[in-house]
Amino acid sequence: MGLLFLLLDRGFQVISALILIRVLLSWAGVLGLHQPIVRTLERTVQQLTAPIIDPIRRLMPPAGGLDLSPLIALMLLQVANQLLHTVLLSMLP
């Protein structure tokens, strides 16, 4: 069961890191970093995080020019991680 907890935690950490990278890369255009490697990395990270970010963005469009969907996604991932831990712990004898 310990390995399952570890794998879940690592999975949530990877997804959270990808979301944070997505946010940072979105600023690259504003900073004028238009190198092909940055664009390629940005597209890849966007494709990996789109299943999480896009539904939230559809439910909650940007407020005052600020896209809060990554922040909400990170909070939901944290809640989901805690819920899974609670459920798994309750299944232990």
Ordered by start, the domain boundaries in the chain are 2-91
Q: What 3 state SS string does the chain have?
A: CHHHHHHHHHHHHHHHHHHHHHHHHHHHHHHCCCCHHHHHHHHHHHHHHHHHHHHHHHHCCCECCECCHHHHHHHHHHHHHHHHHHHHHHHCC
Work out the average pLDDT over 34-45: 86
Residue 13 tokens, joined = 């950490």
pLDDT in tens, 51-73: 999 999 999 888 888 899 999 99
- pLDDT confidence of 39, banded at 50, 70, 90? confident
* pTM, two decimal places: 0.86
Work out the average pLDDT over 76-91: 91
- pLDDT confidence of 32, banded at 50, 70, 90? low
**Cβ-count burial 65-79 (b if 16+ within 10 Å, e if not):** eebebbebbbeebee
